[in-house]
Structure 1
Amino acid sequence: MSKKSFVHYSEDCDFPIENLPYGVFSTNDDEVPRIGVAIGDLILDLKKTANIFRGPLLKDKQGVFKQTTLNDFMALGKQCWKEARASLQSYLLIENINNQNKGVFVKQNDAKMHLPATIGDYSDFFSSYYHAYNCSLMFRMEILKSNWRYVPIAYHGRSSSINVSGTLVKRPQGQIIEDHNNPIPIFQKTKRLDYEFEVGVFIGGELNEQGKPLKIDNVDDYIFGIVLLNDWSARDIQLWEMVPLGPFLAKNFSTTISPWIVTMEALESFKTDNMQQDPVALPYLRHDDKYNFDITLESYLKTDDSIVTKLCKTNYKYLYWTAKQQLCHHSITGCNMKPGDLLGSGTISGPTDDSLGCLMEITFNGKNPLILANGKSRTFLEDGDEVIFTGYCQGNGYRVGFGTCSGKIIPNE
């Protein structure tokens, strides 16, 4: 049975009392960023309510809720995160309706959202089986490179260009091959700008020292929560540059994330079976507990005439490599992880034509144009296009949602 809060919201609201995601916001009357929790269409200001965290683990650490980012709170670890969640749910229960009028809530529409954490390092994986398979078909490569089923493949991204939802995306420029019979590059704006529907995992806790890998048995203790993530990609720049080392300028110009971090505690009841791995993962990556999640993911394209076209409906459960395996593999060389590090999942595609997570797959690398709701077509993104991601887990009488992750393409003048 779902819990009841004194904050009113509908059953399809993204932010019920069962969710309580963390974010960082500011307002016109207080422009200093501060930590908040989403509930209904409101934000509970934790800077004003830090004294509610009176449990044995947090009573002497209330200062972490008065910071401008979540990094210090992330660093406290799993038991503190659980205690904080319990305190928040207790505060917001309908039995405590007197808390409603204490001046500690802000309307989400009146807030400006910021990046929820200082992101020191960002790595992006390639962990969806169907996306990897489709890429192999498009580029006539060996079907799933021989290492893909053994290694959670990733590249190191650029944390400086990660932006919060709503930030404009300027069309990038770079070296491009126009005629593959004459492989001499020209320098121009990308003509093949794409989105990639991913999720991002934020890392926290008292993490490993350099030279001491994390262990698969308890690596989930260091996973704080999940956001939606758009790994914007310039496909023509990418095709030229990624031999032999992989993506660089094709992806470093912008990455967009949703502003609210949905905690792993809120997602616990939505765990589902991991994808069967064949061959069985090497021992350091092997785990039998469920760590995939039934998260419905939907993407939309809004053109400059305000017409919206649904692009795909996919699911987080289509990841072949779990977040536990991604994090464990990242650290196995002794790489030291830090609170606020972000791991992208890679594009999440499903097995059907309506579950493909990027335009490159939907249009088969531009060969089969997508017809939009306004009758126009797209192979790749045009200036003025806005890409919008949503995600949610459906509970019994409530929904744990992620809000939106959006970005609009603007020209490179």
Structure 2
Amino acid sequence: MSTAMFASHFSVGNIPFGIGSSEDHPRPSAVTRLENTVIYLDELAKHDLLSSLPNEALHAFSQVVLNDFAALPRSIHQQARAALQTLFKEPLTSFPAGSTAELKDVTMHLPVSSRDFTDFSCSKDHVLNAGEAILKKRYLPPAFLHFPIGYSGRTSSIIVSGTSFVRPKGQFRDGQGGIKYRPTEQLDYELELACIVGKPTKLGETVTSKDADDHIFGYVLMNDWSARDIQGLEMTPLGPLNGKSFATSMSPWIITLDALQASAIIGQPRELEVASYLVDPNPINSYDIALQADIITSGTSTTICKSNLNAMYWTFRDLVVHQSSNGCCLNTGDILGTGTISGSTDESHGCLLELTKGGQDSFEIGDGKSRVYIEDGDEIRISALASNGDQKYLSESRIQEILVGSLVPFTIASVTVVARFFTRIFLTRNWGTDDSWIAVAWIFETILIFLNCLLTRYGAGRHQDTITEEQYQKTLLVGFFTRLIYPLVLGITKIAICALFLRIFRSHKRGRYAVYGFMAFVGSYTTSVMFTSIFQCRPISKAWQVKSLGQCSNYLITLWVTAICNILCDVVLLLFIIPHIMSLKIDRGQKAALLAIVSLASLVIVAAIVRLARVTQFNTSSDQACELFWF
């Protein structure tokens, strides 16, 4: 979740906490994130920008882990969140030097120091699916419906997201029934979330469901890597050991409970009566969080799971309560994992054990190959998106706006052009050079409108983090061609207008020379813009294959030059034509009508200025799929 493509997940409504360092800030300390900018909280504290917070919080921000901050009362976490949200109303460029850094320049670390890690099994669907994959029958362990079952993992092998690890070795059965010691052949992932304990408890103290939230600092994404062949042999009778303990990846950002309030929902109903300590008086005890897992092979991403946290049978409150129910103490930084979060559909299998039915089936990946389990060099990316209860964010779309904004003006223009052509061909029989230029411009405009509509098919108009990586790449590819055709349409249209001027003002020799010079200028800068657009990236394909090797120049400069040239040309055309219209020997009514028509060009100038502002916004946007139409 630290990759830049998920920038829109880190809005001012989130305010996550983590530990980061950089070349300019080498000592790890507390950070938060706003889109693709990381903010060092200790630097803000040094400049008295967080003076409303108690000293304990300010001191905690300078520590190399978040444990001291996590242990503080939840009310202080809320104060810190509110203070940062107020601070972020100001542009980040106004923050003190050294207090911010680009995400790509920051190294993220494990956010807390953890003494204990318990991995539970909260998903009923996962348990049933796994039973079917391994034992060929769907069944629940006897205890599952009575309390959340789990096992104690090892914190020594918890690694921050993005860290590579060595394929584990262990003993497992070979194809002939013998037992061998060698690298696992069934490396799997598990899509999980975990809560991080904040407020600790003493040995012998228990936690009630009513108070459980006070002991949760926040939530992280987690991948409990598993070697299924090693795990399968060692599970009986004590459970997993070497099949699980080699690596568990955890996201560097901790999302607080307050950030998820809008996505809180009623959890799954109990199928059996549970012990009184597990009875939660508050039915709003789960979250509507969409989860996704992708496998990345040779730079190509394939989605292998789409699940949701609300599929869990047991909640995070249940985990905290049950962990402490025997008097076991909770330590700040302890990790309580959900286990694999799977749903009831085929696309919601949260691990490959389920997806491949224990290795019996394979699944296709983006490069035309197939997988059964994870191979060397593969990456697994787990992402999450909390809804606001009505899935508003997920359903937000500008597709209708794009289609209306493209098709309505194009339809009006097309009717006008067709009417002009009909008049020129059949009525006046006076086809001119300007008509030919208009025809060419209309053909390219038709292609441009087709590409705009095609963009919506691949994801333009929707939030970038709600479309697949493949869709985004296709959007960038189509967008690349629209950037070539758009200046061509504008340039040819201006040349057509100039050709019309040459027809109208045949007797103005000096004016005709000016028009020819203007046409040459338009042709020159249009050609230059097109070549700049084509060779913006080296290699050219880097423009849409964002993960490929290469580099791209700052296209914002080209956008500004193009926009300024277009605006200046429109102004020059307007200033050129008005005096000539005034000198025409026609009656006042006709002259007023011509001036009224020409004055409409001022609207084009205003539209160009608005577009310039929008394309500038696009260049710095973290949600470019949604903003791409303005390119």
Q: Same fold by TM (over 0.5)?
A: yes
1:407 corresponds to: none
From 115, 120, 124, the equivalent of 1:120 is 115
Change (3 A) 1:36 1:97: closer
In the alignment, structure 1 residue 162 sits paired with structure 2 residue 148: no
The structure with more radius of gyration: 2
Please report how far the alpha carbon of residue 30 of structure 1 lies from its aligned counterpart in structure 2 after TM superposition. Answer: 2.7
2:563 corresponds to: none
In the alignment, structure 1 residue 248 sits paired with structure 2 residue 244: no
In the alignment, structure 1 residue 25 sits paired with structure 2 residue 24: no
- The answer (yes or no) to whether the contact 1:369–1:378 under 8 Å persists in 2 is yes
In 2, the alpha carbon distance for the partners of 1:221 and 1:256 equals 25
Q: Which amino acid aligns with 1:73?
A: F
2:51 corresponds to: 54
Please identify which structure carries the higher helix content: 2
Q: Supply the RMSD in Å over aligned alpha carbons.
A: 2.1
Equivalent residue of 1:32, what SS?
coil
Change (3 A) 1:325 1:106: same
Higher relative contact order (CA 8 A, sep 6+): 1
In the superposition, the TM-score normalised over structure 1's length comes to 0.89
- The answer (yes or no) to whether the contact 2:210–2:281 under 8 Å persists in 1 is no
Alignment of 1:9-408 (within 5 A): 13-50=8-45, 51-55=48-52, 58-59=54-55, 61-94=57-90, 99-100=94-95, 102-138=97-133, 139-140=135-136, 143-179=139-175, 182=177, 184-205=178-199, 207-289=200-282, 290-303=284-297, 305-395=298-388
Please report how far the alpha carbon of residue 59 of structure 1 lies from its aligned counterpart in structure 2 after TM superposition. Answer: 4.0
In 2, the alpha carbon distance for the partners of 1:245 and 1:123 equals 15
Q: Which amino acid aligns with 1:329?
A: H
- The answer (yes or no) to whether the contact 1:92–1:99 under 8 Å persists in 2 is no
1:410 corresponds to: none
Change (3 A) 1:234 1:162: same
Change (3 A) 1:99 1:222: farther
Please report how far the alpha carbon of residue 217 of structure 1 lies from its aligned counterpart in structure 2 after TM superposition. Answer: 1.5
Bigger mean CA deviation after superposition, 12-21 or 133-142: 133-142
Please report how far the alpha carbon of residue 219 of structure 1 lies from its aligned counterpart in structure 2 after TM superposition. Answer: 1.0
Please identify which structure carries the higher strand content: 1
Equivalent residue of 2:27, what SS?
strand
- The answer (yes or no) to whether the contact 1:149–1:278 under 8 Å persists in 2 is yes
Q: Which amino acid aligns with 1:124?
A: D
In 1, the alpha carbon distance for the partners of 2:355 and 2:80 equals 42
Q: How many residues align?
A: 386
Please report how far the alpha carbon of residue 53 of structure 1 lies from its aligned counterpart in structure 2 after TM superposition. Answer: 3.3
Tell me, which stretches of 5 or more residues in structure 1 are unaligned?
Answer: 1-8, 402-413
In the superposition, the TM-score normalised over structure 2's length comes to 0.59
Please report how far the alpha carbon of residue 340 of structure 1 lies from its aligned counterpart in structure 2 after TM superposition. Answer: 0.6
Q: Which amino acid aligns with 2:246?
A: F
Please report how far the alpha carbon of residue 15 of structure 1 lies from its aligned counterpart in structure 2 after TM superposition. Answer: 0.6
In 1, the alpha carbon distance for the partners of 2:56 and 2:359 equals 57
In 2, the alpha carbon distance for the partners of 1:116 and 1:60 equals 18
In 1, the alpha carbon distance for the partners of 2:49 and 2:393 equals 27
Identity of aligned residues (%): 35
In 2, the alpha carbon distance for the partners of 1:231 and 1:324 equals 21
In 2, the alpha carbon distance for the partners of 1:239 and 1:397 equals 41
Equivalent residue of 2:181, what SS?
strand
Q: Which amino acid aligns with 1:302?
A: I
2:459 corresponds to: none
Change (3 A) 1:235 1:11: closer
Bigger mean CA deviation after superposition, 102-111 or 338-347: 102-111
Q: Which amino acid aligns with 2:144?
A: W
Change (3 A) 1:103 1:179: closer
- The answer (yes or no) to whether the contact 1:91–1:99 under 8 Å persists in 2 is no
Bigger mean CA deviation after superposition, 357-366 or 275-284: 275-284
Please report how far the alpha carbon of residue 153 of structure 1 lies from its aligned counterpart in structure 2 after TM superposition. Answer: 0.6
Equivalent residue of 1:218, what SS?
helix
- The answer (yes or no) to whether the contact 1:195–1:233 under 8 Å persists in 2 is yes
